[in-house]
């Protein structure tokens, strides 16, 4: 039977070990900032961000939320929450566009951006308050630079297309957000990269054909079913892999050839 003093010394040793400073190194995390096309849904639609975890060996924290634009995501402090939470080498995927268009007049809906590709500003009134509205790229550059300052890597993606078959024949033209996203990436610098998600989704939708693609949009031309979200997610991964994987190189479970679609 061990003596009391030897028991005590074992206890104190183990409490020392427990109390010893040790750094808990969590896995690099992928953060998603976007709108309903990326967000977790609660109806018969789904956002593509919910499927990304299946293709990556990193945890994915989907902070996308329906109805948001680059502007409202900023003004509501949602980028700031991610900026405050990211650790060095985390990867933040930003994808907006569906709620960024429209006009500030006669009524500002709180989402529309100031038109333009640069440092233009618009004076507006939202909810009875005088506000200054920035351009789409300005919001992304501000968020991107703050994330990079925290050591994160930023991926800016072009928005998903609305059903490109809705007019009867296939039609997809890159929206202005594609150019804006590329411009934002070049302003943020080498810790940012662009993924032409919209183009890759459009190409896969073209191959699938109208009958199939129409079934992936159960309610309207913007929001996909769960199956549609999976297709849209795979298009993102394909675009990423075709570009060499970028900041997610080594963390994608799938080989380039095994993912549907073709490199552009
Ligand atoms: C990658 O493989 C996993 C199974 O390991 C699968 O769940 C996922 O959908 C695949 N991703 C793509 C983009 O094909």
Tell whether the torsion through CA atoms of 155, 158, 159 and 160 is positive or negative: negative
Express each pLDDT in 147-196 by its tens digit: 999 999 999 999 999 999 999 999 999 999 999 999 999 999 999 999 99
**Is 237's C-beta closer than 6 angstroms to any atom of ligand 1?**
yes
Identified catalytic residue from 220, 221, 249, 258: 220
CA of 230, closest atom in ligand 1: 9
Query: Exactly one of 36, 55, 158, 183 is catalytic; which is it?
Result: 36
Distance 52 CA to ligand 1 centre (A): 9
pLDDT category, 14, cuts 50, 70, 90? very low
Residue 21 and residue 19: Cα distance in Å, rounded?
6
> Residues 83-99: what's their mean pLDDT?
98
Atom index in ligand 1 nearest the CA of residue 254 equals 1
The confidence score (pLDDT) of residue 167 equals 96
> Following DSSP, what letter does each residue of 160-203 receive, concatenated?
PPP-TTTTSS------HHHHHHHHHHHHH-TTEEEE-HHHHHHH
- Residue 223 annotated to the active site: yes
- Residues 156 and 92: their CA atoms lie apart, in Å, by 8
pLDDT for 11 equals 45
Share of the chain above pLDDT 90, in %: 90
Question: Quick check: is 98 catalytic?
Answer: no
CATH 3.40.718.10, domain 27-258, yes or no? no
Ligand 1 within 6 A of 55 CB? yes
Q: Which ligand 1 atom is nearest residue 236's CA?
A: 13
Q: Tens digits of per-residue pLDDT, 234-257? A: 999 999 999 999 999 999 999 999
Dist. CA 142 → ligand 1 center (Å) = 33
Mean pLDDT of all residues in 101-122: 97
Cis peptide leading into residue 35 (ω within 30°): no
Strands 153-157 and 192-195: parallel
Decide whether any atom of ligand 1 lies within 6 Å of the 147 Cβ. no
Residue closest by Cα to atom 11 of ligand 1: 55
157 membership: H or E segment, kind and range? strand 153-157
Protein residue with least CA distance to atom 10, ligand 1: 55
User: Is residue 197 among the annotated active site residues?
Assistant: no
| Distance of CA 212 from the midpoint of ligand 1 (Å) | 21
Q: Across residues 80-91, what is the average pLDDT? A: 97
H or E segment and range at residue 82: helix 78-85
């Amino acid at each position: 039977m061990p003596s009391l003093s030897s028991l005590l010394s074992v206890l104190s040793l183990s409490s020392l070990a427990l109390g010893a400073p040790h750094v808990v190194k969590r896995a690099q995390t992928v953060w998603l900032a976007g709108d309903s096309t990326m967000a977790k849904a609660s109806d018969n639609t789904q956002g593509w961000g919910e499927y990304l975890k299946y293709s990556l060996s990193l945890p994915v924290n989907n902070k996308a939320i329906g109805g948001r634009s680059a502007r409202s995501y900023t003004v509501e402090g949602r980028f700031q929450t991610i900026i405050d939470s990211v650790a060095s080498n985390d990867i933040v995927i930003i994808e907006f566009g569906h709620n960024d268009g429209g006009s500030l007049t006669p009524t500002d809906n709180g989402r529309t951006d100031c038109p333009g590709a640069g440092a233009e500003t618009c004076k507006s009134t939202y909810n009875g308050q005088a506000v200054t509205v920035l351009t789409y790229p300005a919001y992304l550059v501000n968020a991107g630079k703050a994330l990079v300052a925290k050591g994160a890597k930023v991926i800016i993606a072009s928005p998903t297309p609305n059903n490109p078959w809705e007019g009867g024949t296939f039609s997809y033209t890159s929206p202005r957000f594609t150019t804006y996203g590329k411009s934002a990436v070049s302003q943020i610098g080498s810790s940012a990269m662009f993924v032409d998600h919209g183009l890759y989704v459009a190409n896969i939708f073209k191959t699938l054909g109208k009958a199939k693609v129409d079934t992936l949009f159960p309610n309207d031309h913007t929001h996909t079913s769960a199956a549609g979200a999976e297709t849209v997610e795979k298009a993102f991964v394909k675009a990423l892999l075709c570009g060499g994987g970028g900041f997610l190189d080594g963390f994608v479970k799938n080989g380039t050839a095994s993912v549907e679609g073709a490199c552009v």
